[in-house]
Structure 1
Amino acid sequence: MKKTKSVKFHKKFALAVLVFFLAAILLPSSALESKVQAASSPRSGGAYYSYGEALQKAILFYKANRLGDLPDDYILPYRADAAMTDGQDVGLDLTGGWADAGDGIKFTHPMSYAAGQLGWAVYEYRQAFEKSGQLDDILDEIKWATDFFIKAHPEPDVLYYMCGYNDSDHSVWVPHELLDYVTDRKSFVLNPSTPGSDVAGQTAACLAIASIIFEPTDPEYAQTCLTHAKQIFEFGDKYRGKNPLDVLYPSGGYVDDMAWGAVWLYIKTGDTTYLDKAKSYLPVTSLGGGHTHCWDDVSYGAALKIAQITHDEGYAAMVEKNLDFWMPGGGITYTPGGLAWLSPWGSLRYASTAAFLAFVWSDDQTVGTPSKKEAYHNFAERQINYILGDNPRKGSFVVGFGENAPEHPHHRTAHGSWVSMLDVPGFHRHILYGALVGGPSSDDSWVDDISDYTLNEVATDYNAGFVGSLAKMYDMYGGEPLENWPQPEDFRAPEDDLTEYFCRGWIIYEGYGTLNLLLQVNNRSAWPPTMKDKLSVRYFMDLSEIFEAGGSLDDVQITLGQSEGAKLEGLKQYKDNIYYFTVDFTGTQIMPAEWEMCEKDAHVSIKYKDANIGSNENDWSFQNLSKSPDYDAVSFAGLTPYIPVYDNGVLLWGEEPPNGGNTPEPSPEPTPTKPPITYGDLNGDGNVNSTDCTILKRALLGIVVPGANLDAGDLNRDGKVNSTDLTIFKRYLLKVIPSIPL
């Protein structure tokens, strides 16, 4: 969802900042510290939480947002390959990286900020990650992002900055695994004619940091990162301009990003040209005090590193002006419970990142004002402890950690809806361990509500500064990570129904030797969400009474009525007098994406030649059938395990008759033949309705709908599929015309 940047330093705060700044210089550290204690309830100075466990889980969150080709033995059993078409529209492989937040769009700008911020944490507190056993994990996550940036930079003056986009992605609420089926994964590029120095500077910084932190373990990869960092920085420096993205992440400018990239290139190379560039992009007088380091303003981090490198008093004053703003009385709003609150959007993201800067600055005893360092340090501890539970609700704001933790983060894959709805199901099917939610309002109020994305959004940039602060807290106070964690069962919500694939069945009519059924195959998969196009169901019958009366299979007629892409396979022997027929949906995509996609219906009629002999009462599959066909896509009404579900002929769910011998071999797939065109029936379900019209509309917008027969969209038979055909379709649905033209 949209995460607008907070308003920068307000003029109305200027006088307060100046007064506090002077007071901070004149007052001893103890006096400044007393002001902090008076305004804050969170604790500092002790081990109040298991910071190692919190760190472990906060890093794990990034694995939940991975896109691309995931390992077969992936640690999160509810995740699988996702967004595998990224880059195909431009002839490149742009798979990989992270989905930005609770949505599925991939942005180079905030992703490079997040990966760079994680890398900065490793640069400052590598020993903490090593001691906690998390170094390999965090390096693996950073590399997942930097691998994508290398792909996104196929030429020196080319950088891809987005895959997917708002109008397409935010029109659905589906797991990441299904993005390719229901959204348009269009790629967007920066080049000399469409520059983006903000994206370039941030990406260069991330790759420069990666070149530093990977040097001890993978020097060859570190060199690759450095090569790309230099080229991307040169591209941003030569073709200056702000990226064209004007939704979701509208950048405030690029000078801070370029300064950030330059300072890290200097730290890596020692080339003073980069340091001069950093200072020219970020002169000592340019930094305001009323914000903090974030995806859209890295000037605070850049100034801090320049000050540490040069010991320039001007830059040091810039850093402390910013940190003083975050102290009580300095201009920042404090909630009654002690949170330094900057914005309704991701308030905890800002507080935890300001805490990281405060830790890094207070750790450095070679620059800055010594009398302030203790106050900065304790401020940082209190903000992290607020997040972990030292707050009025006595609850954690980190999913799966501590007491009273969030259970409904705004995250599509963790939620696991099969109908693209925020309220279906009413709980999350997976626990999004380690995700830092947006945070409370300025009065400490917060509601655990998936629909409130202001307070409950999660994002890769939200966790970034938080991870660094947790590393520092662990380094000071310990609290060991969990052993032999996670286990597969840790990712299953305890109240979740474990049924992913199933059949529902209803009796539509029964009498005079006839049984009419409605059978429905369902795909509500979530471990992981999976598109299936070879599902079938089998109805098992006991024909003993037919054979005992001297009859044969010819006395039983099975016919398929209206269906959504199904085919009927006639009676086959299972064992003795038990036979089955198959309703086969092979070729029809069934997936937990939208209501009409997660379930498919078929009407079947069983008719006996002699109504006095044939009976279904003894059929294995007749058990549990309901006579009420009322159902929806939420409940499990009509569910019957006695009509099993198969995937390409292999039993997937349900119960076959006992003592039935070997399961019949899967039927060979039929040789595909091109069916005659039914104009208007784009999804091949035998019906011409609004679903087909939607497919046609998506096709005209350039959205690929897998499996759609676009030839059926040529309603006026002119050899073209265009807006004229869409107009005809709409007129037909509105009954303006009686039929599709023949």
Structure 2
Amino acid sequence: MDTTKPMFLIQLLFICFSMLGAICSASNPNYADALEKSILFFEGQRSGKLPANQRLTWRGDSGLSDGSSYHVDLVGGYYDAGDNVKFGLPMAFTTTMLAWSVIEFGSLMPGQIQNAREAVRWSADYLLKAATATPNTLYVQVGDPNMDHRCWERPEDMDTPRNVYKVSTQNPGSDVAAETAAALAAASIVFKDSDPSYSAKLLQTAMKVFDFADHYRGAYSDSLSSAVCPFYCSYSGYHDELLWGASWLHRASQDSSYLAYIQSNGHTMGADEDDYSFSWDDKRVGTKVLLSKSFLQNRVEELQLYKIHADNYICSLIPGTSSFQAQYTPGGLFYKASESNLQYVTSTAFLLLTYANYLTSYGGHASCGTATVTPQNLISLAKKQVDYILGQNPAKMSYMVGFGERYPQHVHHRGSSLPSVHSHPSSIPCNAGFQYLYSGSPNPNILVGAVVGGPDNRDSFNDDRNNYQQAEPATYINAPFVGALAFFAANSVAN
């Protein structure tokens, strides 16, 4: 028996992983490039006066009078997706997730940390204005979505009504207010060292907005009805946001009153429920992962419940465990919904990596019945999802615009699909833009870094601008992806 061959192979593998890791991981996507582009995308979604260092130069200033007819300054923030409305609930969630990406993985993105902070600040500045303009009021939307969706026009040309919508003591919106509190609290952590005074202002405002959300309870969908539904109805109610907001305030402030709030209210706010979705609407599983850190780090026994339920969530995703119930496409993509499915993929990948980070840092594992799931198991599953998005899939298509050799060309996005204001300075009115929506030509402006809605449950993708279910990008798809990409950009050799 020739023993030299297996020994040679073992030595070769050792050399591969220890000395030539960069070569052996050549099949990995370029995570660092994807990370840079995932952050750059947010510049394409900016509303307001663009700064001198704007890198997506096909965009121009827009929404410069937002709020003025109501005597408030609501200039700035992000357009949520391919339209020209500023929706407060998804924008706040986007801000929270961008901030969480920086909090957990900012040390792994040294070359992009400043751009990431600027992405957080662009929306945090807007949310600050929305929260402080009028006492006991939170401005939660700019733009009439029904009128906006009847037009196909660049944000720079907007002539649809820029109605302003708010929640107040008489017309509450605990969901959007508590999410805004979470966003401001998370952002305060991002700027704690680099800009302490700004951080303090964010945290103080977050506390006030949370008190408002908690004391004047109600769903913003009930208060604003057709202005937010069916676009961003709060299907999950507002209890999940209250618990989420309190959890972020506890992490940002270390004020024990928020821990007491969590302990007193958790059972009535979804802590006892095993849920398997994390999105702009439903924050329950994100809260459980977030609170698991406090249990793992400080062994706060009152928070052990959240670790147990976070384990249940993780186990639901892992094939082969007794609790497995997730759906995957034949190509291995996590599948949750026919519309904008990749939002669930990016948020799930982020939670997998964050939980793996907590388990690794504090010496834990996930228990799935009698089986044990290690941090490496979570990282491996997250990597499959990230790699799928970046082109390692049956279609061999990257679902990030501008990344890889093949990516969507007909993105459902007004500014990207219409000629830019620089190449076509004259206005393109409401109805005149539809010729570009229905055109078979590629988008003239590349919305670099945008992750679109993605393929269906059979891995099929129709690159059609009118197919908003698959071809529309959104800020809340990209925000958690920033953190996931930072992880793999720093750990691609090992993984």
Bin of the TM-score, shorter chain as denominator length: 0.7 to 0.9
Q: Aligned pair 1:313/2:297, yes or no?
A: no
285 and 159 in structure 1: CA distance in 2 versus 1, 3 angstrom threshold: closer
Identity of aligned residues (%): 35
- What are the within-5 Å matches in structure 2 for residues 44-123 of structure 1? 48-72=28-52, 74-123=54-103
The equivalent position to 1:206 in structure 2, one of 183, 188, 194, is: 183
Q: Give CA-to-partner distance per residue, 1:378-429, whole Å, 9 cap, x none.
A: 1111110111111101111100001311111110000015421112472211
- What are the within-5 Å matches in structure 2 for residues 146-295 of structure 1? 146-153=124-131, 154-179=133-158, 182-243=159-220, 244=223, 245-252=228-235, 253-283=237-267, 286-295=271-280
Which secondary structure does the structure 2 equivalent of 1:152 belong to? helix
Q: Give CA-to-partner distance per residue, 1:703-728, whole Å, 9 cap, x none.
A: xxxxxxxxxxxxxxxxxxxxxxxxxx
Quote the Cα distance in structure 1 between the aligned partners of 2:272 and 2:143. Answer: 34
Structure 1 unmatched runs, 5+: 1-43, 480-742
Give the CA deviation at 1:339.
0.6
Structure 2 unmatched runs, 5+: 1-23, 297-302, 420-427
1:349–1:466 Cα contact (<8 Å) kept: no
What number of residue pairs does the alignment pair up? 432
336 and 67 in structure 1: CA distance in 2 versus 1, 3 angstrom threshold: same
Quote the Cα distance in structure 1 between the aligned partners of 2:209 and 2:95. Answer: 16
**2:474 is matched with which residue?**
459
**2:366 is matched with which residue?**
369
The equivalent position to 2:330 in structure 1, one of 336, 345, 357, is: 336
Quote the Cα distance in structure 2 between the aligned partners of 1:143 and 1:45. Answer: 35
2:410–2:441 Cα contact (<8 Å) kept: no
- What are the within-5 Å matches in structure 2 for residues 172-571 of structure 1? 172-179=151-158, 182-243=159-220, 244=223, 245-252=228-235, 253-283=237-267, 286-311=271-296, 312-328=303-319, 330-365=324-359, 366=362, 367-369=364-366, 371-373=372-374, 374-416=376-418, 418=428, 419-421=432-434, 422-424=437-439, 426-477=441-492
Which secondary structure does the structure 2 equivalent of 1:160 belong to? strand
Quote the Cα distance in structure 1 between the aligned partners of 2:295 and 2:53. Answer: 47
Quote the Cα distance in structure 1 between the aligned partners of 2:358 and 2:53. Answer: 42
**1:493 is matched with which residue?**
none
**1:679 is matched with which residue?**
none
Which secondary structure does the structure 1 equivalent of 2:456 belong to? coil
1:156–1:232 Cα contact (<8 Å) kept: no
AA aligned opposite 1:113: F
Quote the Cα distance in structure 2 between the aligned partners of 1:47 and 1:255. Answer: 44
AA aligned opposite 1:321: N
**1:683 is matched with which residue?**
none
Give the CA deviation at 1:93.
1.1
Which secondary structure does the structure 1 equivalent of 2:373 belong to? helix
Quote the Cα distance in structure 2 between the aligned partners of 1:319 and 1:247. Answer: 30
TM-score (normalizing by structure 2)? 0.84
Q: Give CA-to-partner distance per residue, 1:502-544, whole Å, 9 cap, x none.
A: xxxxxxxxxxxxxxxxxxxxxxxxxxxxxxxxxxxxxxxxxxx
AA aligned opposite 1:309: S
Larger relative helix fraction:
2
Give the CA deviation at 1:328.
2.7
Which secondary structure does the structure 2 equivalent of 1:441 belong to? coil
AA aligned opposite 2:153: V
2:203–2:253 Cα contact (<8 Å) kept: no
Which secondary structure does the structure 2 equivalent of 1:159 belong to? strand
Give the CA deviation at 1:478.
7.0
Quote the Cα distance in structure 2 between the aligned partners of 1:150 and 1:478. Answer: 40
AA aligned opposite 1:51: Y
Which secondary structure does the structure 2 equivalent of 1:432 belong to? coil
Q: Give CA-to-partner distance per residue, 1:230-272, whole Å, 9 cap, x none.
A: 1100100110111033330000211111111111111121111
AA aligned opposite 1:231: K
Give the CA deviation at 1:276.
2.1
Give the CA deviation at 1:321.
1.1
Which secondary structure does the structure 2 equivalent of 1:162 belong to? strand
2:270–2:284 Cα contact (<8 Å) kept: no
Which secondary structure does the structure 2 equivalent of 1:227 belong to? helix
2:25–2:493 Cα contact (<8 Å) kept: no
CA RMSD, 1 decimal:
1.9
AA aligned opposite 1:340: F
**Max Rg structure:** 1
Quote the Cα distance in structure 2 between the aligned partners of 1:385 and 1:135. Answer: 22
2:177–2:209 Cα contact (<8 Å) kept: yes
Q: Give CA-to-partner distance per residue, 1:150-177, whole Å, 9 cap, x none.
A: 1112134110000002221101001111
Which secondary structure does the structure 1 equivalent of 2:32 belong to? helix
412 and 120 in structure 1: CA distance in 2 versus 1, 3 angstrom threshold: same
AA aligned opposite 2:257: T
2:412–2:473 Cα contact (<8 Å) kept: yes
Give the CA deviation at 1:73.
5.2
The higher-RCO structure (CA 8 Å, 6+ apart) is 2
1:259–1:279 Cα contact (<8 Å) kept: no
Quote the Cα distance in structure 1 between the aligned partners of 2:262 and 2:61. Answer: 39
Give the CA deviation at 1:291.
2.8
Quote the Cα distance in structure 1 between the aligned partners of 2:122 and 2:291. Answer: 28
Quote the Cα distance in structure 1 between the aligned partners of 2:275 and 2:441. Answer: 40
Give the CA deviation at 1:440.
0.6
Give the CA deviation at 1:47.
6.0
Quote the Cα distance in structure 2 between the aligned partners of 1:332 and 1:151. Answer: 40
AA aligned opposite 2:118: D
Which secondary structure does the structure 1 equivalent of 2:433 belong to? coil
134 and 280 in structure 1: CA distance in 2 versus 1, 3 angstrom threshold: same
Larger CA deviation: 213-222 vs 285-294: 285-294
Quote the Cα distance in structure 1 between the aligned partners of 2:69 and 2:26. Answer: 54
Larger relative strand fraction:
1
Q: Give CA-to-partner distance per residue, 1:281-302, whole Å, 9 cap, x none.
A: 4339745445322110111111
Give the CA deviation at 1:71.
2.2
Give the CA deviation at 1:74.
2.6
425 and 448 in structure 1: CA distance in 2 versus 1, 3 angstrom threshold: closer
475 and 287 in structure 1: CA distance in 2 versus 1, 3 angstrom threshold: farther
Give the CA deviation at 1:469.
0.8
1:207–1:226 Cα contact (<8 Å) kept: yes
AA aligned opposite 1:375: N
